[in-house]
A and B are shown apart, each in its own frame.
Chain A
Amino acid sequence: MGQAAEPLTHPANGREKLIERDEALRDAAQAWERRNQEAFRTETKEKFVTDEGVEIKRVYTPLDLMEKGFDYQGDLGFPGGYPYTRAITPTLYRSNLWRISQYSGYATPEECNDLWKAQVQSGLNTIYIAYDLPTQLGYDPDYPEAEGEVGRVGASLVSLRDWEIAFDGIDIEGVLVSQVINAPAAIGIALQLAYARKRGVPWTKLKGIAQNDILKEYIARGNYIFPPEPAIRLLVDSLSFCAENVPNYIPITVSAYHFSEQGADRVHEIAFALADAVTYLEAAKERGVDLDLILPQLMWLVSHEHCDFFSEIAKLRAMRKLWARITKERFQVKKPESMQCRLYSAQSGLSLTREQYINNIARTGISALAAALAGVQTIDLRTYDEHWGIPSKEAELTNVRIQQVVGYETGVTQTVDPLGGSYYVESLTLELEQRIAEELRRVDEMGGMLHAIEVGYPQNKNFDDACRFQRELEAGEMVKVGFNRFREKEDSRPVRVYRADPKVEGQRKKAVQEMRRSRDNARVERALANLKDLAVKPPSETGNLMPHLIEAVEAYTTIGEICTVLRGVWGEFKEPAVV
C-alpha cells in the first residue's frame, strides 16, 4: 500500500488548500449521510458482505482511498510497469485479444482428434487437454487401478502413439497445446517435446503449457502420486529444462483455481497459490537455479465467476501486485517478466446450476466479462451443461462464441484496465491485497506451505469455507436462480451430454497392449532401467531427469510404465486426515 495521501494534490495547490478540500469533502459526506437516514432504512440488508467477509459500503468516495493511503504510482503504476496492478502489458487487448481456451477431452485419441479439429476450425487457438484419471495418476488403461475409470472424465493418452493419433492433422505450431497434468507432468512435457520433434516443430518455436503444480494436488485436487521431495525435484527439472531448451513453453501453471473449487474464499484462494509458488522458488533456488531464468515461463491458473463481480476483478488486480512485490523484494529478481503475473483464468463450475441449465449461458457471459475487466491473458469457461455431465460439443462451441461476443462486441477491450481508479474497485483491491498478504504471512510463520499441508492447514481452511458456502446456500442467503429462488416445477434437461461408452475401456486396453507389442521393447527396458538408477540418486549426482524421460517416451514407453518405476523408488504421498 502507498505511504501517503499526497498524490491527490494538484501540483499548483498548496498543502493547506488540499487539507481544506479534504475537510470539505468529509463534511459533504457527513451531510449526505445525515440527509438520507430515511432512505438508508429502506435497504434490504443491514450489512452487505462478500464471501471473504469484506463489508461493502453504500458508496465509495476519494475519502476511502485516502484512508487506505492509496498512492497511484505505488499502488497501480502504468500498464506493463511495476507493480503491474493494471496490466502486465502496456496495451493489453488493444494489441491482442486474450487467448480463448476451452477445457476438453474425450475418451480416446480418435475422439479427441475429432473434437479438437472442430474446435480449431471454430477459431479456438488453444487446446486444453482434460486427461482421464488413470493417466493423471500414472496408470495405463490396462492396469487394475484403472478399472472403471478409463476415459470417463477426459482423454486417455499415455504414449507417443496416442499423441500421434490425437493430434494428427492439427497444426501444433499454430495452436497452443495445454495439458492439465500434474503428478506425471514431467512425462507429459516429455511427450509433448518428443511429439514436436517427430512433427519437425523446433523446440525453440514450440508453444505449450503444462499445469505441473503438485502442491495444490495434495491440498485440493487429489491427483498426487509421489511425496513432496521427489515431486518437487521433477518440477524443478522440468522448469530448468524448458528455460534452457523450450523458451516459449509454460512448464508450470500455479493454480489458485482448485482452491476456489474446494471451497476457498478469495483470500485463501490466492494466498495459498502464492505460498505454493514461493515454495517452488525456494526449492529451485536451493538447487542453484537462476530464478530470472525460470520465472518468465511461469503462469497462473485462477478462477473467475459472475458472483461478487467486482471482488473477482479486485482479487486478480491485488494478486498481480502482490506477486510483483514477492518476486522483486523477497526473491530479488531482476527481469520485469519475472515479476509479471500471467493469468489463465477459468470460470468456476461451482457458480453454475443444474436447474434451468440454460441460464448458465448468462452466468458464463458475465464471468467472462469479469475476467476481461481483470486483464487476464487467457479465458476459459465452463459449459451450460457442465452440471449434467461431460460437456457436449455444442456447449463447448457455444463457449467459444460467448468469448467472441465479449471480446469483439462489447468494446471493453478498447482501454487498459477500465475500472482502474474506481473508488470502489481500488478500495476492494487494497482490502484484498492486505488480507491475502496477512494469510501468506500466517503460512510463512507456520514454516511454509510444505509444513502447512502436513498439518492440514490449507485443506481445513478451504473446507471451512466450503461448509459456510453450503450453509448460506441452503439458508437461501446466497441466491442461485432456479435452485433456491425462482424454481420451476419441471426442469428441462440438456438434449445430450457426452458420456464415455463403457466399451472404451476395453478398446483402450487393447490399443495400448498392441502398441507395446509393436515397439522396440529392449529399448523400453533400457530406458526404464536407466530411470530407476537415476531416481535412487540425489539430483546433485544425476543432473536433470528430463532428457532421460524424453528418451523413454521416444521409445514409446508409457506414462504408466514410467510412473510404476518411479513409484517403486520414491513411494507415494500419504495425505493427512482432514475430518
Chain B
Amino acid sequence: MPGRQLEAGHPRPIRVLIAKAGLDGHDRGAVVVARALRDAGMEVIYTGRHQRPEDIIRAAMEEDADVVGVSSLSDSHRTVCPKMAAMLKENRMDDVLFIAGGFIPEEDFEFLKAAGVAEIFPPGTQLSDIVTYIRTHVRRW
C-alpha cells in the first residue's frame, strides 16, 4: 500500500532483491546499497554476480520481493532492464518496484523509464535517497 511507513507497525519489513545482471563483475555499488538498505531495516537478498534476467525474476518471485534493484556498470542496462521489466509484467509482478543503479548515462533515463524502470540512481546518489525512495514508492508491501 502506498505511503505506508516501515515504522507504522507493518507485519514484515520491506523485502528487496539486489541483483547484478549480465557479465559485469563489479559489485561494490550493489553490495554497499544492499548493506545500507539492510541497515535501514529492510530484508535484503543479493543475487551475486553474472545473473541472467530470468534468474533474477525467478529469485524475485521465490523470495517474494517487494523491490527489485539491478546494478549495471557495463552499459548492458539497455538490454537487461527492458527484458526484466517485460518479465515482471508477464509474471504479473507489475506491482514490484523496479529500480536500477550504476553507470547509467542520463540520456538513457527516458528510455529506461518508458521500458518500465521506476527510478534510476546514477553515481553520486546518496544512500539515504535510495532508502527514502523505496519507503515512499513501494507498492506491494
Does A188 lie at the interface of the complex (its beta carbon under 8 Å from any beta carbon of B)? no
Interface size class on chain B is 20 to 34
Does B70 lie at the interface of the complex (its beta carbon under 8 Å from any beta carbon of A)? no
CB neighbours (8 Å) of B28 from chain A are 261-263, 463, 466
A133–B18 contact, CB under 8 A?
no
CB neighbours (8 Å) of A310 from chain B are none
Does A401 lie at the interface of the complex (its beta carbon under 8 Å from any beta carbon of B)? no
Interface size class on chain A is 35 or more
Does A467 lie at the interface of the complex (its beta carbon under 8 Å from any beta carbon of B)? yes
Q: Interface code B1-34, partner A: CB below 8 Å = 1, 0 otherwise?
A: 0000000000000000010101111111001101
A149–B25 contact, CB under 8 A?
no
Q: Interface code A466-506, partner B: CB below 8 Å = 1, 0 otherwise?
A: 11001000100000000100000000000000011010000
- CB within 8 Å for A355 and B34 given contacts A263-B28, A389-B105: no
Contact residue among B18, B25, B38, B48 (Cβ-Cβ distance under 8 Å from A223) = B25
A-B contacts counted at CB < 8 A amount to 90
Does A31 lie at the interface of the complex (its beta carbon under 8 Å from any beta carbon of B)? no
**Distance between Cα atoms of A147 and B22 in the complex (Å):** 9
- CB within 8 Å for A579 and B35 given contacts A222-B24, A222-B50: yes
**Distance between Cα atoms of A147 and B23 in the complex (Å):** 10
Does A354 lie at the interface of the complex (its beta carbon under 8 Å from any beta carbon of B)? yes
B32–A149 contact, CB under 8 A?
no
Among residues of B, the one whose C-beta sits closest to the C-beta of A217 is B25
Task: List residues of B (41-74) whose CB comes within 8 Å of A's CBs.
Answer: 44-46, 48-50, 74
Among residues of A, the one whose C-beta sits closest to the C-beta of B34 is A579
Taking chain A's interface residues, is the majority helix, strand, or loop, or is none over half, making it mixed? loop
Task: List residues of A (359-394) whose CB comes within 8 Å of B's CBs.
Answer: 387-389
- CB within 8 Å for A575 and B48 given contacts A149-B74, A152-B74, A354-B123: yes
Contact residue among B23, B26, B78, B127 (Cβ-Cβ distance under 8 Å from A134) = B23
A579–B22 contact, CB under 8 A?
no
Does A290 lie at the interface of the complex (its beta carbon under 8 Å from any beta carbon of B)? no
CB neighbours (8 Å) of A261 from chain B are 26, 28
CB neighbours (8 Å) of B123 from chain A are 354, 387
Contact residue among B35, B45, B46, B80 (Cβ-Cβ distance under 8 Å from A148) = B80
Does A153 lie at the interface of the complex (its beta carbon under 8 Å from any beta carbon of B)? yes
- CB within 8 Å for A148 and B32 given contacts A133-B74, A222-B50, A354-B123: no
Among residues of B, the one whose C-beta sits closest to the C-beta of A355 is B124
A222–B75 contact, CB under 8 A?
no
Q: Taking the nearest CB of chain A, how far is it from the CB of B43, in angstroms?
A: 11
Does B136 lie at the interface of the complex (its beta carbon under 8 Å from any beta carbon of A)? no
Contact residue among A137, A387, A388 (Cβ-Cβ distance under 8 Å from B23) = A137
CB neighbours (8 Å) of A263 from chain B are 28, 32
Does A578 lie at the interface of the complex (its beta carbon under 8 Å from any beta carbon of B)? yes
B23–A575 contact, CB under 8 A?
no
**Distance between Cα atoms of A261 and B79 in the complex (Å):** 26
B31–A466 contact, CB under 8 A?
yes
Q: Taking the nearest CB of chain A, how far is it from the CB of B31, in angstroms?
A: 5
B23–A145 contact, CB under 8 A?
yes
CB neighbours (8 Å) of A136 from chain B are 23
CB neighbours (8 Å) of A145 from chain B are 23
A153–B124 contact, CB under 8 A?
no
Q: Taking the nearest CB of chain B, how far is it from the CB of A238, in angstroms?
A: 21
Does A221 lie at the interface of the complex (its beta carbon under 8 Å from any beta carbon of B)? yes
A221–B25 contact, CB under 8 A?
yes
A474–B126 contact, CB under 8 A?
yes
A466–B32 contact, CB under 8 A?
yes
Does A12 lie at the interface of the complex (its beta carbon under 8 Å from any beta carbon of B)? no
Task: List residues of A (128-149) whose CB comes within 8 Å of B's CBs.
Answer: 133-134, 136-137, 139, 145-149
Does A39 lie at the interface of the complex (its beta carbon under 8 Å from any beta carbon of B)? no
CB neighbours (8 Å) of B75 from chain A are 149, 152-153, 499-500
Could you list which residues of chain B lie within 8 angstroms of chain A, going by C-beta atoms? 18, 20, 22-28, 31-32, 34-36, 38, 44-46, 48-50, 74-76, 78-80, 105, 123-124, 126-128
Inter-chain pairs besides A133-B74, A148-B22, A148-B80, 10 sampled, C-beta below 8 Å:
A133-B23, A133-B24, A149-B23, A149-B24, A149-B75, A222-B50, A500-B75, A577-B48, A579-B18, A579-B45
Could you list which residues of chain A lie within 8 angstroms of chain B, going by C-beta atoms? 133-134, 136-137, 139, 145-149, 152-153, 217, 221-224, 261-263, 354-355, 387-389, 463, 466-467, 470, 474, 483, 499-500, 502, 575, 577-579
